[in-house]
Amino acid sequence: MVPSPHISAPLGFPDLKLSVPYADAIRYAQFRLLMLAKGELKSFCEQHELPYTSIVGLKNNSLKREEPRLLQRLLRSLAVDTEVIRIPPNSQSPRFLFPTVEALTTFQQQLKCFDSGNPPLPESEAPTGGAESPTP
């Protein structure tokens, strides 16, 4: 008997320390969507086969209910790999599970920058502190 290519590894219990709540995931996605240049959202949605109207609703926080699967697809399109989990199983709001500590740390650092309103700029683009010339 030939094994099916669709068989995946056994599903283990997730490491909950690698998860974030829906609210953090949607806030991150909204910030990332705001980073797109004006007029680029439609082509982004077409390129990633995302429903434009729903993504606009997500971006503007006007969706009538949580859309965890749509949010997961969007995050993956933004190179943020997550899985949707419900812990506890009867919870109303899902959590987003990251594959590694590094992925979670990067997500949290970026979200912190977005929340602060001061994303760090590369050294070459950072504004200088003044017009003082160095002393010899």
CA dihedral 90, 93, 99, 100 (to 10 degrees): -110
Q: List beta partners, residue 20.
A: 96
pLDDT tens per residue, range 88-131: 777 778 999 999 999 999 999 999 988 887 766 565 454 554 44
pTM for the whole thing?
0.75
Segments making up each domain of the chain, as ranges: 16-116
Those residues whose C-beta lies under 8 Å from the C-beta of residue 19, and which sit 6 or more positions away, are 85, 87, 95, 96, 97, 98
